[in-house]
């Protein structure tokens, strides 16, 4: 497989087109917002457009000026509240129509994992600062 690096706006627009056609897209995510479960430089994610999005799903969403890959923390009618697993308090909101794909697999080396719904991690929100601090020190 050939590795191609493109600016996010170009790459993610193309990914959105492929997902809309019903094709799966594998991306190497950037940033630390999904630590400790998805790490830049270590993991890739497989995205698929799914008609339904649920609390706990990891989604790629188009916000006004950027794309984010975060977990759905709350679903309220057609509005979603998103938060990265590595974030301590930053929330984003978007419409369900802004979701362009859902993470259906995390690829780490030669292993593929189905992402969890993050229920335990969600309840550990008050302790994330400590847990992420420990994680960053041992990595």
What is the full per-residue pLDDT of the chain (139 aa) written as tens digits?
676 677 777 889 999 999 999 999 999 999 989 999 999 999 999 999 999 999 999 999 999 888 999 999 999 989 999 999 999 989 999 999 999 999 999 999 999 999 999 999 988 888 988 998 898 888 8
Instruction: Write out the two tokens for 43.
Output: 């993991």
**Amino acid 68: pLDDT:** 95
Return d(Cα 117, Cα 89) in angstroms, integer. 19
Dig out the tokens for 122 from the structure: 């969600």
Which residues have a Cβ under 8 Å from the Cβ of 131 and sit 6 or more positions away?
Answer: 36, 124
pLDDT at site 15 = 93
Residue 16 confidence (pLDDT):
92
pLDDT of res. 4: 67
Tell me the C-alpha distance between 73 and 104, whole Å: 17
Domain ranges across the chain: 8-132
Q: Which fold has domain 8-132?
A: Umud Fragment, subunit A (2.10.109)
């Amino acid at each position: 497989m050939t590795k191609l690096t493109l600016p996010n706006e170009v790459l993610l627009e193309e990914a959105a087109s492929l997902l809309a056609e019903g094709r799966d897209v594998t991306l190497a995510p950037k940033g630390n917002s999904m630590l400790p479960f998805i790490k830049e430089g270590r993991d890739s994610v497989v995205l698929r457009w799914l008609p339904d999005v649920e609390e706990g799903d990891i989604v790629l969403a188009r916000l006004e000026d950027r794309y984010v890959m975060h977990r759905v923390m709350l679903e309220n009618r057609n509005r979603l509240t998103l938060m990265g697993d590595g974030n301590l308090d930053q929330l984003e909101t978007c419409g369900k129509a802004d979701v362009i794909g859902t993470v259906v697999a995390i690829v780490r080396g030669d292993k593929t994992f189905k992402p969890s719904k993050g229920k335990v991690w969600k309840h550990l929100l008050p302790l994330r600062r400590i847990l992420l601090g420990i994680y960053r020190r041992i990595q």
